[in-house]
Structure 1
């Protein structure tokens, strides 16, 4: 494990603690949640058979494995702050018979990646948590070959996400507060102007953001989704009186039941597909 930047300490504690362990335990749900975004994401990455690919915030490795299947004569390196998720990622890659992929627990903000070592850097909803994004993206630029490609999938603002409003209303009875744009979190890269300024400042050219809307899934059944989300969002009902807590938990179940489809429990979502090249 390389050094963790001081501004990423809280993120490291979360992702390498209970939160990361929960995601690792429910890796099948986590990997399926964004599956409908993945084809366009990989097309934008334009990976070729001999490419060397770096996957930032790789989690349990869904995008890493997908990249490795395409870059069969190249290599893919996935990094994440969660040791538990990296452990799962390694196991899933072995099961898939992939020999051109490696994983490590690392803070991509400061990790000493080899200079000009990668043809493409990808990150599916993993690049929004840097404590110092300017430093992080400059580090990632350094790791790219001249003309190399950066491809990110990031969330659009909270008011364009059905899922966050529905979960918050069920568990707390109110809409979630709008997060500050300069605080690491799911929506820190939701403002296109901020993203363009950030990436241009880090030395990237041809920064483009393409809007995409899909449904995201949180489990195959209501029970599965309920268990997963309570483990993830249980903090929302902490401090509630027992009767209110029971009501909130039941309200979440009802919300999930209303979104049950033949293809799992699904909610609307909106993302930016961000592409840029190393100047």
Structure 2
């Protein structure tokens, strides 16, 4: 792995968080897959494209891009060793020979001059310690006229899974959600901030479009609650209270999620995002 400057995120995604996402790849893909087609359509992939997937995680979007770029190639870059191991295993199982994965920090990973036609990301660009430096580096990896398309989280209040957690304030030490002051899920939730980052990074024709998708969180309220509380944020919150308070929080979440079960008992929660596109002149 190349030099790492985003050390806090590297520690998280090579620790419990990364192992959790790798272990639950299919479940997280079910949560976020509603954004795949809008993202790939916005990227306007062609069969011969060379594609860079930033923050590719367990590689779902990288592999989808590789299937569209049948005569080209897709390269996924991520900090997380556990998630990349899962990505490589999935690519082998699907017999994709036009996809590779690299472990690295997009702020400093050697991308310059590699001539990618397009860079994509599904929820992988909100965690940079220095977002301008990261997008500048990504831009240097694109050919002139190369395209950028990514999905990032919109307002916390419009994400039902987060609002479900917020309802547990009587049981868990939940602070303010949606902070935009540093690396984190909502660091690009303000479209003005997106432009403040991409413009000095050298991108033009910046467009920010709102999009939503209802993700599958579990088969039944109990399953969905267990999955949500086993994630990094949920585990962090439960770790700050005793077992009794944790049990009350889990029960409250199960009862809340019952209203989100569909006719087949599947819990679906709406996520709100920005679909951002831009061009490297």
TM-score, normalised with respect to structure 2: 0.94
CA distance in 1, matches of 2:36, 2:188: 18
Q: Once the two structures are superposed, what CA deviation does each residue of 1:35-70 show, in whole Å capped at 9, x if it has no partner?
A: 111111110011110100000111111100100001
CA distance in 1, matches of 2:222, 2:93: 28
Q: Once the two structures are superposed, what CA deviation does each residue of 1:122-154 show, in whole Å capped at 9, x if it has no partner?
A: 010000000000100000000001010010101
Taking structure 1 as reference, are residues 173 and 242 closer, same or farther at Cα in structure 2, changes over 3 Å only? closer
Among 110, 113, 117, the residue aligned to 1:112? 110
CA distance in 2, matches of 1:183, 1:37: 24
Provide the residue aligned with 2:267 in structure 1.
265
CA contact (8 A) 1:165 1:176 kept: no
Provide the residue aligned with 1:141 in structure 2.
139
The RMSD of aligned alpha carbons is: 1.6
Taking structure 1 as reference, are residues 259 and 176 closer, same or farther at Cα in structure 2, changes over 3 Å only? farther
Provide the residue aligned with 2:255 in structure 1.
254
Q: Secondary structure at the match of 2:57?
A: coil
Identify which range, 267-276 or 245-254, moves more after superposition: 245-254
CA contact (8 A) 1:153 1:274 kept: yes
Q: 1:32-43 to 2 correspondence within 5 Å?
A: 32-43=30-41
Q: 1:60-209 to 2 correspondence within 5 Å?
A: 60-170=58-168, 172-173=170-171, 176-209=175-208
Give the number of equivalent residue pairs. 277
CA distance in 2, matches of 1:127, 1:50: 25
Gaps of 5+ in 1: none
CA contact (8 A) 1:170 1:251 kept: yes
CA distance in 2, matches of 1:220, 1:145: 44
CA distance in 1, matches of 2:104, 2:147: 21
CA distance in 1, matches of 2:61, 2:253: 30
CA contact (8 A) 2:220 2:265 kept: no
Q: Secondary structure at the match of 1:190?
A: coil
CA contact (8 A) 2:57 2:80 kept: yes
Q: Secondary structure at the match of 1:127?
A: coil
Taking structure 1 as reference, are residues 178 and 27 closer, same or farther at Cα in structure 2, changes over 3 Å only? closer
CA distance in 1, matches of 2:58, 2:67: 16
Gaps of 5+ in 2: none
CA distance in 2, matches of 1:90, 1:220: 28
CA contact (8 A) 1:153 1:273 kept: yes
Taking structure 1 as reference, are residues 205 and 103 closer, same or farther at Cα in structure 2, changes over 3 Å only? same
Give how far 1:266 is off. Answer: 1.0
Identify which range, 153-162 or 259-268, moves more after superposition: 259-268
Give how far 1:114 is off. Answer: 4.1
Among 265, 268, 276, the residue aligned to 1:274? 276
Give how far 1:222 is off. Answer: 3.2
CA contact (8 A) 1:153 1:272 kept: yes
TM-score, normalised with respect to structure 1: 0.94
| Runs (4+) off by over 4 Å | 171-176
Provide the residue aligned with 2:221 in structure 1.
222
